[in-house]
Amino acid sequence: MATHVGGLTRTAPPISGSAASADSRAAVSVRGLIRSFGPKGVLNGVDLDIAPGEFVALLGPSGCGKSTLLRALAGLDHDVRGSGVITVPDRVSVVFQDSRLLPWDTVLGNVTLGLREHDAEARSRRALAEVGLAGREKSWPHELSGGEQQRVALARSLVREPQLLLADEPFGALDALTRIRMHGLLQDLVAAHRPAVLLVTHDVDEAIALAHRIVVLDSGRVATVRTVSPDVGSTADAAGHEALRRDLLAALGVVPASGAQPTTPAEPAAVGH
């Protein structure tokens, strides 16, 4: 069946008052999603729902299809074979791993990109202030640090007031300290704007710290789904946090070193031949 994949991505019907059915209340609905590059199946029947305002982290080892799923939701997989039904809201924003700022446009120009409203510039200035970059509107992207560039990218996606924010390892290229600051910033922004979020990451700690629900993808299928209670997420429940962390690492195929023994580098002599 030669289905045109682009035709499978349709926007959700407008939410019309209180008459919305249970199904249309989901911000995102994915049913039986199959995607393949050549003979190799990348997604082998993925079902996923995201409620409005829900923060979902998508974990998985490299090559498990995380990014393919995100790109399908973003409508960026024109030439990929596949089938399934995807429903997403009207306003979807994407944050990529690279900040993807146009080098020939100023910071402000990058945020206003694609906005058609008459107050686009004022709103973009407010969005830049929100990510702590007021006063940098006239800068060129190359004059900013990596973390600042990614904050511009966040401002660019939030100025559109998205109902769904798709983030593909947005902090993967940042240093550890900047990443922690960006976690706080993203939490504040999401609390203020309340979009549904799908965060693709390979960082278990990042997923636990940010998400309401964690989906582990393995071999193109949903392998594990875990909800994260606020206490576990904020590490107030340290034991629960550690248990969840172990479970997720196990689901990802990482066997943690046994806790009793301090990890020492293995001596070559100790390795049996």
Partner 1 sequence: MSAAPVLERPAVEPHQDPALAGRDDVRPTGKRLGPGRRRRLAWLLGPSALLLLWTAGSATGLLDPRILSEPWTVVATAGELLADGRLQENLAISAQRALLGLFFGTLVGAVLALLAGLSRVGEALIDGPVQIKRAIPGLALIPLLILWFGIDETMKVLTITLGVFVPVYLQTHAALRGIDLRYVELAQTVGLSRAGFIRRVVLPGALPGFFLGLRFAVTGAWVSLVVVEQINATSGIGYMMELARTYGQTNIIVLGLAVYGILGLLSDGTVRFIERKALLWQRTLAG
Name the site residues for partner 1 (rule: CB under 8 A).
Answer: 74-76, 92-94, 96, 98, 100, 102-105, 109, 113-114, 140-142, 156, 160
- Specify the residue, 89 or 141, whose C-beta has the smaller distance to partner 1: 141
Closest approach of partner 1 to the CB of residue 33, in Å: 19
Both structure tokens of 17 = 């008052």
The span from the CA of 140 to the CA of 77, in Å, is 30
Of 154, 152, 123, 158, whose CA–CA distance to 138 is shortest? 152
- Specify the residue, 1 or 104, whose C-beta has the smaller distance to partner 1: 104
- Specify the residue, 92 or 214, whose C-beta has the smaller distance to partner 1: 92
Residue with tokens 């996923």: 48
- Specify the residue, 76 or 185, whose C-beta has the smaller distance to partner 1: 76
- Specify the residue, 46 or 74, whose C-beta has the smaller distance to partner 1: 74
Instruction: Please provide the DSSP assignment of 136-171 as one string.
Output: -TT--GGGS-HHHHHHHHHHHHHTT--SEEEEESTT
Residue with tokens 């049913």: 31
Closest approach of partner 1 to the CB of residue 163, in Å: 14
Closest approach of partner 1 to the CB of residue 259, in Å: 43
Closest approach of partner 1 to the CB of residue 105, in Å: 7
In 229-271, beta strands by DSSP E: none
DSSP state of 117: S
Both structure tokens of 174 = 């940042």
Task: Give the Å distances, CA to CA, from 98 to 76, 148, 243.
Answer: 16, 12, 32
- Specify the residue, 24 or 106, whose C-beta has the smaller distance to partner 1: 106
Residue with tokens 């979902």: 56
Residue 139 has phi, psi (to 5 degrees) of: -70, 155
Closest approach of partner 1 to the CB of residue 214, in Å: 24
Given a contact cutoff of 8 angstroms between Cβ atoms, the answer to whether 216 and 59 are in contact is yes
- Specify the residue, 151 or 160, whose C-beta has the smaller distance to partner 1: 160
Given a contact cutoff of 8 angstroms between Cβ atoms, the answer to whether 73 and 86 are in contact is yes
Closest approach of partner 1 to the CB of residue 212, in Å: 24
Closest approach of partner 1 to the CB of residue 156, in Å: 7
